[in-house]
Amino acid sequence: MLRQYELVELVKSYDPYADEDALNRAYVFALKKHGSQLRTSGDPYYSHPIEVAGILTKYKLDSASIIAALLHDTVEDTDTTLEEIREMFGDQVAQLVDGLTKLAMIEQKTGSSKQAENFRKLLLAMSEDIRVLLIKLADRLHNMRTLHFCPPDKRARIARETLDIYAPLAERIGMDEVKEEMDEIAFAELYKEAHDSIVARLNFLREQGSDVVPKIIKQLEKDMEENGIHCTITGREKSPYSIWRKMQLRNASFEQLSDIMAFRICVDTVADCYQALGIIHSKYHMVPRRFKDYISTPKPNGYQSLHTGVIGPLDVRIEVQIRTYEMHEVNEKGVAAHWAYKQGQRTEGKNFRWIRELLEILDQAQNPDEFLENTKLEMYNDQVFCFTPKGDLIGLPIGSTPVDFAYAIHSNVGDTCVGARINGEIKPLRTILQNGDQIEVLTSKNQHPSLEWERFVVTGKAKAAIRRYVRINKREQFISLGKEIVEKIFKSEDQEFSEKDLVGVLSNFEAETVDDIYAKVGEGLVTGWDVLRVVHPGYRQSKLEKVVSAIKLPIKKNNRKKDSLKIRGLIDGMAVHFAGCCHPLPGDRIVGIVTTGKGVTVHTINCPSLKNYESEPERWLDIDWGINADEEKHVARLKLMLSNEPGALANVATIAAKAEANILNLNITYRTPSYFEILLDIEINNVDHLNNLIMALRSEKLISYVARATQ
């Protein structure tokens, strides 16, 4: 553990302007507040914040970050208040500690959404000040170093979270050393056999070729010196985790990997980088598809370097990385390098595009779990670099499509894209992009995201935007339908209707807005009659509602979640509506009509309404019922003529019950002293079920006419 004077000296060594008094007070304050608290390892608890601060000094972070690291657990674990921190150390330190405290409080929660909610809080905090992330990574790194003191189940959970979230975040901000150490510890915990096997092979190679690395370095230095290149060359093995990842991604064995050994050449200028590359390629055979130029096209985290694979000295396959000394500093420290003090001047960290994109995903996600799922996609290595028509560079994950590219430019571009011109040629939206492609996105104001896109997009931002549109679109449909239902019921019952009345009863329906009530009615969670009775408590049941209530049979509840209706010829999850003009049933021949704002409307093939679409063949879809379509109930409409005698409606209800059909709605369309005509909406399985019911109804002497209604 660092002593007080050692920590202060470390900070002063790179920042002579550091507030020495504040650093000393923070060190003593942490010791005093944590007092006799112990960690799982048995060490004094205050050793943890001191070690976290020590990690940050390696990256030459400013005094406020070091002080916040020392104090980051005091508000959570002691009687310290945020106001006390603000009074003693200022607003900047208090803000950092506050962000870290909120994260710690979320981490203590239990439940499936804890990890997702934790990451959401981290994103919001780091978007306000990236130093929150830097301190959090140092905090997690020290916890990983002491992971072996935790119980096995807790070790596995922390290791998985680190591998999924914190290590990719460290990579995103360019802190490779932190990432590699986290990866290594988590890998050893989660995949011990694979880890031990790779370590054993590396040890064997090291013993067999103990002098190989020095010899290769010596030869490379000679090559550079002969061509007048001043440089520093180092060699290192790839980490066991990175080797294992490549074995998984390439489906290759350990022996098939060509870049287990990597050599780094640091030079003075960018021109020297390309000259050194020319020397390497002119003397050694290049391994195909192993060259990457991250200088002209840097990674999103600012990483710059030339990478190439060659059959190098001693005929050993190696990877060579070439960069300037300045690039090397940024590559090693990442965003932390932008917080370092240089000649007394501090430059704040970059506002990375990927942070803004994660914030957009946060805005579009329905819940924390969906947000976490999409952001995990967003955080992995960008491997495909494409250009806009103006030459701007866009980095995307491998396997990306023009839709991913469109959303990377802007959400509005993604929402309205209809096609893409790739290298001057029109290509389908599902085309896989390649390095160097130049892409022009074609848009239309009338275009909307398609749920089919979610099948082939790979970026979290694109997936989140598509799901959000579908979710909002469905809600709008429910709102429109619900409003229509409520207004019709109020009108049919001669009751006054005003949305102001609905505002006063929001709490009755656990709604925040009037639209929430409409949406619940449209979705079937609440009936229009329920709304009427709440708005007008003195309302007396009408004869029509009494009839409907009397003949409506209870629906058996099934706690098992039903599978969604499948219609062949449509994409799973596409918004589907059944036409109210023809009420299609399984067994009918059907056709789909693409309807703006509503998805696909299903009609029977002989529906009279189809005449309205004869001039628009592009809107017609060839569809059919899925094999399990009749496992769910469907609504059919019947037209009946009944004698105006007591018991006629009761007989209809009895026959429907015996046929295992459920009456949903009844509308008397015409009445005379001797008979009346009704329209009956009824739940049915399929056409055969409906035909059997019609035959049963026709056998009743009080029913003179029964037919399936087409309107």
Q: What residues act catalytically?
A: 76-77
Here the tokens at position 316 are 């050993």
- Helices (H) and strands (E) counted in the chain, each on its own, are 28, 23
* Residue whose pair of structure tokens reads 């170093």 in the numeric block: 145
Q: Which burial class, exposed, middle or buried, applies to 415 when counting CB atoms under 10 A from its CB (0-12, 13-18, 19+)? A: middle
- Cβ atoms of 139 and 52 within 8 Å: the answer is yes
The sign of the CA dihedral 126, 129, 130, 135 is negative
- Cβ atoms of 309 and 258 within 8 Å: the answer is yes
Q: Provide CB contacts within 8 A for 321, sequence distance 6+.
A: 262, 263, 264, 265, 305, 306, 307
CA 48 to chain centre: 33
CA 282 to chain centre: 45
Strands of 576-578's sheet in order across:
576-578, 599-604, 590-595, 620-621
Q: Which burial class, exposed, middle or buried, applies to 265 when counting CB atoms under 10 A from its CB (0-12, 13-18, 19+)? A: buried
CA distance 190 to 37: 30
Here the tokens at position 705 are 């006419």
Q: How many residues does the chain have?
A: 711
Here the tokens at position 103 are 């994260």
The SS3 assignment for 319 reads strand
CA distance 711 to 699: 24
Assign residue 261 a region (left: φ > 0; alpha: ψ between -120 and 50; beta: otherwise).
Answer: beta
CA distance 118 to 140: 13
Q: Which burial class, exposed, middle or buried, applies to 286 when counting CB atoms under 10 A from its CB (0-12, 13-18, 19+)? A: middle
* Residue whose pair of structure tokens reads 């946060």 in the numeric block: 362
CA distance 158 to 144: 8
Up-side HSE of residue 46: CA atoms within 13 Å toward CB? 15
- Cβ atoms of 352 and 335 within 8 Å: the answer is yes
State the maximum Cα–Cα separation within the chain, in Å, rounded to a whole number: 114
DSSP for 155-171?
HHHHHHHIIIIIHHHHH
Closest CA to 706 of 606, 636, 657, 633: 636
Q: What radius of gyration do the chain's Cα atoms show?
A: 34
- Cβ atoms of 227 and 279 within 8 Å: the answer is yes
CA 595 to chain centre: 29
**Phi/psi at 488 (5° precision):** -65, -40
Start-to-end CA distance of the chain, whole Å, equals 82
Up-side HSE of residue 438: CA atoms within 13 Å toward CB? 7
Here the tokens at position 498 are 């005003």
